[in-house]
Amino acid sequence: MKNYICEIFAHNVGLSPSEIFENDLTLSEIIAHSDNLHNSIDLMEVFAKTANIIEKEYGVNVRLPAFSLDTPISKVLEVFLLETQKV
């Protein structure tokens, strides 16, 4: 599930999974590096799109809290994974 989430998120952001997750970018760094994202609203839409794909594929309703832009992506991924285990 972890790799699946990483792939979906990276595809929608327009960066490689390794660039995002191996470097443990913060949310603001992801916005800065991505040509697809212009602000935090765009980032929120990517999180929503990722959650919707997971819900359609696995029937799991992922609910994410608000994250500050200095949050590392590893923390967001951790919450995604915890949410998917609530089946």
pTM check: above 0.75: yes
Q: 62 in helix, strand or coil?
A: coil
Question: Are 33 and 26 spatial neighbours (Cβ–Cβ below 8 Å)?
Answer: no
Q: What is the pLDDT of residues 17-70, one digit of tens each?
A: 999 999 999 999 999 999 999 999 999 999 999 999 999 999 999 999 999 999
Residue ranges per domain, the chain?
Answer: 2-84
Q: In b/e form, how buried is each residue of 49-80, taking b as 16+ CB within 10 angstroms?
A: ebbebbeeeeebebeeeebeeeebbeebbeeb
Question: Are 44 and 67 spatial neighbours (Cβ–Cβ below 8 Å)?
Answer: no
**At 13, which amino acid appears?**
V
